[in-house]
């Protein structure tokens, strides 16, 4: 029972994190929401009995691609469509 | 970045490095392996690179060292695989397993907690892939940051 509740919470969190990534106009917050999405999907991989895929997803999705996005934001602007 | 981010990066960098090396070293008995451990180490390097400025980072983590890691990893992987030809065996033959000595302890039958000193050439290839991914993924982040610096310099020259 606790397993199903945890699983449903993670799936709901995935949808919410994806929607937040689309909704934020502050790109740094959007990148952090995408990193949270990657973290939740690595938990989902762990629940589905794929721990090595979960390690890769946590390292590359939540770590390296977030660093690449932050470097890109430092090189360009922080807000979508110019400063608010 | 701010002083808080730099402090957190200073503390987290050795911890992440040791955890990545743990994943690489235990790749043949637990989940993970060369690529996953190398990606975890590269995450720690990327944390330091993002937290500090390019001029500070390039003094600690040289491009030459990262390129040397890439070359050593790839040459070690292909060298371990080619070494089997000396024994008259095919490419990628596991000539160390079950021989005693380095990574050569025979594996116990049935359920067991796992012996680290097993696996033959598999742990050596895990180390080679781990070192190669460490160099390669860190180099990607470092070159991205160097492009950022050049863009800002051009803007200052133009203004």
Taking alpha carbons only, the member of B58, B64, B34, B55 closest to residue B45 is B58
In this complex, the residue of A56, A71, A74 whose CB is nearest that of residue B36 is: A56
Q: What is the pTM (predicted TM-score) of this model?
A: 0.84
Rounded Cα gap, residues A13 and A41, in angstroms: 9
Phi, psi of A5 (to 5 degrees): -60, -45
Q: Is the pLDDT of residue B156 over 70?
A: no
Could you tell me if residue A15 is inside a domain? yes
Could you tell me if residue A11 is inside a domain? yes
Q: By the 8 A CB rule, do B41 and B17 touch?
A: yes
Q: By the 8 A CB rule, do B44 and B17 touch?
A: yes
Please answer yes or no on whether A59 and B43 come within 8 Å at the CB atom: yes
In this complex, the residue of B31, B50, B137 whose CB is nearest that of residue A55 is: B31
Could you tell me if residue A34 is inside a domain? yes
- The pLDDT tens digits of the residues spanning B27-63 come to 888 888 889 999 999 999 888 888 887 778 888 878 8
A37: containing domain: 2-75
Q: By the 8 A CB rule, do A64 and A34 touch?
A: no
Q: By the 8 A CB rule, do B103 and B120 touch?
A: yes
Higher pLDDT among residues B11 and B106, named by residue: B11
Region B68-93 average pLDDT: 90
Rounded Cα gap, residues B152 and B146, in angstroms: 10
Chain A residue numbers with beta carbons less than 8 Å from the beta carbon of B145 are: 71
pLDDT, averaged across chain B = 85
DSSP letter (8 states) at residue A57: I
What's the pLDDT score for residue A12? 95
What's the pLDDT score for residue A84? 62
Could you tell me if residue A42 is inside a domain? yes
Chain B residue numbers with beta carbons less than 8 Å from the beta carbon of A71 are: 50, 141, 144-145, 148
What's the pLDDT score for residue B89? 86
* SS3 state of residue A53: helix
Overall size of chain B counted in residues: 159
Rounded Cα gap, residues B37 and A36, in angstroms: 21
* SS3 state of residue B81: helix
A4 touches chain B (CB under 8 A): no
What's the pLDDT score for residue B108? 81
Could you tell me if residue A83 is inside a domain? no
A74 touches chain B (CB under 8 A): yes
Rounded Cα gap, residues B118 and B112, in angstroms: 13
Rounded Cα gap, residues B49 and B9, in angstroms: 9
What's the pLDDT score for residue A11? 94
Q: By the 8 A CB rule, do B29 and B114 touch?
A: yes
Chain B residue numbers with beta carbons less than 8 Å from the beta carbon of A52 are: 31-33, 36
- What percentage of residues in chain B have a pLDDT greater than 70? 92
What's the pLDDT score for residue A1? 86
- The pLDDT tens digits of the residues spanning B130-140 come to 999 999 999 98
Total structural domains in chain A? 1
What's the pLDDT score for residue A75? 80
- The pLDDT tens digits of the residues spanning A22-57 come to 999 889 999 999 999 999 999 999 999 999 899 999
Chain A residue numbers with beta carbons less than 8 Å from the beta carbon of B23 are: 55
Rounded Cα gap, residues B47 and B53, in angstroms: 12
- Which A residues 44-63 touch B at CB under 8 Å? 51-52, 55-56, 59-60, 63
A1 touches chain B (CB under 8 A): no
Region B80-84 average pLDDT: 90
Taking alpha carbons only, the member of B17, B134, B27 closest to residue B74 is B134
For residue A79, what are the β-bridge partners?
A: A26
Mutate to test the interface with A, among B20, B38, B46, B136 (most CBs of A within 10 A): B46
Phi-psi region of B92 (alpha: psi -120 to 50; beta: other; left: phi over 0): left
Please answer yes or no on whether B47 and A67 come within 8 Å at the CB atom: yes
Could you tell me if residue A81 is inside a domain? no
Could you tell me if residue A80 is inside a domain? no
Give A60→chain B minimum CA distance, Å: 7
In this complex, the residue of A59, A68, A71 whose CB is nearest that of residue B40 is: A59
Phi, psi of B83 (to 5 degrees): -65, -20
What's the pLDDT score for residue B159? 44
Could you tell me if residue A37 is inside a domain? yes
Please answer yes or no on whether B47 and A63 come within 8 Å at the CB atom: yes
Taking alpha carbons only, the member of A76, A50, A9, A51 closest to residue A31 is A76
């Amino acid at each position: 029972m606790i397993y199903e509740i945890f699983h449903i919470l993670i799936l709901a969190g995935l949808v919410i994190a994806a929607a937040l990534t689309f909704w934020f106009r502050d790109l740094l917050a959007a990148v952090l929401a995408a990193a949270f999405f990657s973290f939740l999907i690595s938990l989902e991989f762990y629940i589905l009995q794929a721990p090595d895929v979960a390690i890769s997803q946590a390292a590359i999705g939540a770590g390296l691609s977030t660093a690449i996005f932050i470097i890109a934001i430092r090189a360009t602007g922080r807000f979508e469509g110019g400063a608010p | 970045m701010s002083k808080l981010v730099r402090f957190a990066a200073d503390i987290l960098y050795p911890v992440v490095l040791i955890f990545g090396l743990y994943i690489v070293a235990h790749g043949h008995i637990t989940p993970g392996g060369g690529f996953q451990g190398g990606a975890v180490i590269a995450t720690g390097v990327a944390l330091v690179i993002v937290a500090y400025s390019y001029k500070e980072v390039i003094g600690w983590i040289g491009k030459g060292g990262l390129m040397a890691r890439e070359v050593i990893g790839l040459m070690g992987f292909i060298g371990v695989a080619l070494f089997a030809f000396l024994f008259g065996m095919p490419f990628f033959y596991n000539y160390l397993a079950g021989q005693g000595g380095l990574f050569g302890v025979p594996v116990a039958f049935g359920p067991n907690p796992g012996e680290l000193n097993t696996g033959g050439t598999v742990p050596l290839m895990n180390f080679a892939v781990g070192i190669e991914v460490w160099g390669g993924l860190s180099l990607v982040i470092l070159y991205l940051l160097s492009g950022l610096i050049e863009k800002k310099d051009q803007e200052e020259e133009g203004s």
